[in-house]
Structure 1
Amino acid sequence: MDILRIEGGVPLAGELRIAGAKNAALPILAATVMVAGRSVVHNVPDLEDVRVMLEILKSLGANVSMSAGTVTVDASTLNSTQVPAHLMQKMRSPMCCDWLFSLCA
């Protein structure tokens, strides 16, 4: 682990961009199926599990787009509650899949 040692009596100042977290993004994306309209989620990491979740949402009939860490989900077009097994198997976050499945059931 790196150590950052700050010496002197000078206050710190500046800005730091915090990267999005997969474990936060996945349940938020799953919750978009409960909104009868458009949801916009910012700071979403471009990771395999996130891409699989977006494919799951598309398979349910949602209109989904992702650009520069911002995901837009329009759930007003949902036409299915069946999550395809091949996509569920790709998801490495089973808790999120169980939660999404319970929302769709």
Structure 2
Amino acid sequence: MDAFRIEGGVRLRGTVSISGSKNAVLPMLCATLLAPGEYTLTNVPVLRDVTTLSSLLRTLGVHVVRDGSTLHIDSTRAVPNEAHYDLVRTMRASVYVLGPLLGRFGHARVSLPGGCAWGPRPIDLHLHAMEKLGARISLDHGVIVARGAPLRGNEIDFRISSVGATGNAVMAAVLAEGKTTIRNAAQEPEIEALCEFLVARGGRITGIGTDVLTIEGVTALSPVSAVTPSIVS
């Protein structure tokens, strides 16, 4: 087994720049789909997953330009095209587009990350949340077809905690009519970052950082600039 051998006794000096968290920036990127406008995300890590998700957003009509560690995003002309398998299959986090597309357009088509197989899997928690908000879910040759306009607030109880499903539920609920309560919500820092990003845009979310999130739906969100947090534990 590979191992690191460290000889101590020498004081470390200097500075280290910590890039933003990939797990935080991915849902924040998808959340730009919720409302038209121009966004700037800074401190964005240069990673393949960020590049892949940027490519996926472009297929949905979003203009994404990278300038070093900054992403300039314009979602004004976003459209609910199908999120195709050739991109979704390379990164499970691509399913984050489901909630925002439903929230803004009332319908979405997103390829299953695992292809055509249907059964118990982490994606089921995402679909459970969308159904609780009033979406009708079906499967068309490996593509999730979701319709629900308008979405309506409800109580969502996750049987197990899931970062991805919590993020998707929050993004779908922020524009839904009425109040949504999410129990057994994930408490990871990336969920806090997503919620704070949405609150900065006009979302009404309480309980951030706890396992019970309450979202009061709003009629519109505003574009903002945001710094991707560096999550170091």
Residues 59, 81 of structure 2: 8 Å contact kept: no
Displacement of 1:35 after TM fit?
2.5
Secondary structure of the residue aligned to 1:39 is: strand
Higher helix proportion: 1
Higher strand proportion: 2
Report the residue type matching 1:65 in the other structure: V
Distance, in Å, in 2 between the alignment partners of 1:32 and 1:57 is: 10
Alpha-carbon RMSD across the aligned residues, in angstroms, is 2.2
Distance, in Å, in 1 between the alignment partners of 2:57 and 2:26 is: 11
Scaled by the length of structure 2, the TM-score of the pair is 0.37
Residues 88, 95 of structure 2: 8 Å contact kept: no
Distance, in Å, in 2 between the alignment partners of 1:51 and 1:17 is: 21
Distance, in Å, in 1 between the alignment partners of 2:29 and 2:10 is: 38
Distance, in Å, in 2 between the alignment partners of 1:64 and 1:29 is: 10
Distance, in Å, in 1 between the alignment partners of 2:9 and 2:83 is: 46
Unaligned runs of 5+ in 1: 7-13
- The 1:101–1:4 alpha-carbon spacing in structure 2 relative to 1, beyond 3 Å, is farther
Distance, in Å, in 1 between the alignment partners of 2:79 and 2:32 is: 14
Deviates more, 1:79-88 or 1:21-30: 79-88
Which residue matches 1:11?
A: none
Which residues in structure 2 correspond to 1:8-47 (within 5 Å)? 17-47=17-47
- What is the aligned-residue identity percentage? 28
Secondary structure of the residue aligned to 1:29 is: helix
Scaled by the length of structure 1, the TM-score of the pair is 0.77
Displacement of 1:16 after TM fit?
5.4
Unaligned runs of 5+ in 2: 102-107, 109-233
Distance, in Å, in 2 between the alignment partners of 1:36 and 1:18 is: 30
Q: Which has the higher contact order (CA 8 A, sep 6+)?
A: 1
Displacement of 1:34 after TM fit?
1.0
Report how many aligned residue pairs link the two structures: 95
Post-superposition, which runs of at least 4 consecutive aligned residues in structure 1 deviate over 3 A?
A: 1-6, 14-17
